[in-house]
């Protein structure tokens, strides 16, 4: 993680995946515990929505990413490791409807547990802070080195001579 920000990240390692899953698990576990305290049925629904969200993200967002488009038969990125590529690869920028679907799905997943978290203010604080840490860490360590230049979150800018692919420069 101490690599220069100008160095592009062409490949994720399994340790990257473990790190990001651990960071992303904090808000998920916090929400799950808050929901479980009230209803096991709602917890199962929440977990089902999370799985559906992962499928939606893969279909509408990830299928454009170079980490998905690689010639490998499975995905090897920061959030999906070893998952078979079920969807057709679609290089290039996301269409407006794909951005909309991704944003709406993210908002739904983030807001779904709020009802139960409000009942447990200490969990709500952990949830909000952990989501903030997740988003800020992604922006700080991934978006500034991302090889998917058409991604709306990419903060590298257009490829140029000042950037080099990790392992090639």
Q: How far apart are CA 17 and CA 32, in angstroms?
A: 21
The sign one gets for the Cα dihedral 144, 148, 153, 154 is positive
* Apex 166 CA angle, 165 and 169, nearest 5: 70
In a domain, 8, yes or no: no
Give me the chain's average pLDDT, please.
Answer: 88
Tens digits of per-residue pLDDT, 2-53? Answer: 544 558 888 899 999 999 999 999 999 999 999 999 999 999 999 999 999 9
What's the total number of domains in the chain?
1
pTM for the model:
0.83
In a domain, 147, yes or no: yes
Q: How far apart are CA 130 and CA 132, in angstroms?
A: 5
Range(s) of the domain holding residue 85: 13-165
In a domain, 5, yes or no: no
In a domain, 6, yes or no: no
Tens digits of per-residue pLDDT, 114-136? Answer: 999 999 999 999 999 999 999 99
Of the candidates 65, 95, 92, the residue with the CA atom closest to the CA atom of residue 79: 65
């Amino acid at each position: 993680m101490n690599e220069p920000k100008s160095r592009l990240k062409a490949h994720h390692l399994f340790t990257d995946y473990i790190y990001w899953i651990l960071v992303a698990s904090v808000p998920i576990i916090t929400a799950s515990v808050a929901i479980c305290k009230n209803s096991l049925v709602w917890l199962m629904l929440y977990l089902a929505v999370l799985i559906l969200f992962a499928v939606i993200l893969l279909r509408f967002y990830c299928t454009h990413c170079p980490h998905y488009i690689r010639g490998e038969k499975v995905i090897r990125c920061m959030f999906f490791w070893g998952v078979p590529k079920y969807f057709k690869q679609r290089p290039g920028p996301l269409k407006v409807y794909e951005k909309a679907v991704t944003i709406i799905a993210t908002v739904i997943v983030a807001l779904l547990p709020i009802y139960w978290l409000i009942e447990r203010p200490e969990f709500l604080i952990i949830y909000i802070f952990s989501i903030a840490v997740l988003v800020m860490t992604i922006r700080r360590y991934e978006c500034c080195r991302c090889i998917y230049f058409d991604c709306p979150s990419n903060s590298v800018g257009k490829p140029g001579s000042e950037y080099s692919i990790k392992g090639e420069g």
